[in-house]
Amino acid sequence: MLYTITPGFHLTLPEKCGVYIYRDKDENIIYIGKAKNLKKRISTYFYQNKQHTAKTKRMVHAARTVEVRYTASELEALLLEARLIRRHLPLYNRALRNYKAYPFLVLRTDLTAPYVEVSRDTVHEDAMYFGPYHKTNWLHNAVDSLNSWLKLRRCLGPLPSSSCLYADLGQCLAPCITIDKDNVYNEQVKKARAILDGDPKMKQRLETLRDEAVDDLHFEEAARIQTLVNLAGYNSLLTRSVAHHHALVVSYDADVGCTGLIIVHGRLLRTLHTLDRTADVIRTMQEEARDLYKQTVGTLAAPTVEEVDEMLIIASWLEYRLKELDIYPLGP
């Protein structure tokens, strides 16, 4: 719905969730925003202007119309805002115009001797991806700590035919030259997956090992294990595994009603909405979510850069709202 900006026009706006789009006199899109309550948010541009930055004042002065697009949930508004900004690159959305591929932690289970790496692409079929991660400065340190503790190989790509310095120093189990009769290397890979999955039992075991290292005055080892504790703890907040990130997420707002978000492989596939929140409503939502999950799981291609950005928005929104949401896992 399109509104011409005239004195008091914002008083007629609906109190709904959605996205608003400002255009100038030439109908160029100059700013895109999202709001849980469109009326309240847009009104702030016109009656709280003393608190605005110079950039915001210029934008409001240039705006001639505002279009509003309604969404069924706050998360959908966030995703729609991101898509529209990518498409139109508005002048006053400069802070959000430079999209980048956020990194994943990748367990290369597509190779004979798996290893863990930080990657900004998702092209390896059968590899396990965890993320995307918004805070990235600690990821490489986490991978180094993981490799050091489990003695996983650090060479990239196919398995080499000869050992390297890490093997000679005893810092790698060297699957390239050893015959793993006891399946030792694969057991270490399982531990790596448990950490990346945020397994609470693995986190507890790491905490015990850390405390033992401190008692023995092995502070460097304790610091390395603490890094793994942090990684397991961070990943346990939400399902960071892309392959296993399947859930029905239910929220309730007195003004909006009951909203169900069906997420498969970290992507929002469908939004369900009812006015009431009852046990029967939740069961119906779960049935629809499970049906969609069965139809979709395993069929989605590797995410594009744009999808990775949206997956990050979804993960960040879920993490921020975690205490307010009911999350029902889908699948195994």
Element (H, E) at 257: strand 257-264
Count of structural domains, the chain: 3
Residue range of the domain that includes 152:
104-237
User: Which residues contact residue 191 at a Cβ distance below 8 angstroms, ignoring those fewer than 6 apart?
Assistant: 150, 202
Task: Give the pLDDT of the chain (332 residues) as one tens digit per residue.
Answer: 899 999 889 889 988 899 999 999 999 999 999 998 999 999 998 876 677 888 888 999 999 999 999 988 888 898 899 889 988 989 888 655 444 566 888 888 888 889 999 887 666 767 887 877 777 778 899 999 999 899 998 888 777 777 788 887 888 888 888 766 568 898 999 999 999 988 889 999 999 999 999 999 999 999 999 999 999 988 876 666 665 678 899 988 776 788 899 988 888 889 898 888 899 999 999 999 999 999 987 776 666 767 777 877 887 787 778 788 888 888 76
Please give the pLDDT value at position 122: 60
CATH number at 26 reads: 3.40.1440.10
Element (H, E) at 4: strand 2-4
Whether 242 maps to a domain, the answer reads no
Amino acid occupying residue 201: K
Last residue of one domain, picked from the residues 186, 204, 237: 237
My answer on whether 111 and 175 are in the same domain is yes
Q: What are phi and psi for residue 264, nearest 5 degrees?
A: -130, 130
E strands, 96-220, where?
104-107, 116-119, 128-130
Whether 140 maps to a domain, the answer reads yes
63: nearest Cα among 21, 120, 22, 93: 22
Q: pTM for this one?
A: 0.63
Alpha-carbon distances of 6 from 43, 55, 101, 318, rounded to whole Å: 12, 21, 40, 37
Amino acid occupying residue 235: N
User: Which residues contact residue 262 at a Cβ distance below 8 angstroms, ignoring those fewer than 6 apart?
Assistant: 248, 268, 269, 270, 271, 272, 288, 289, 292, 293, 330
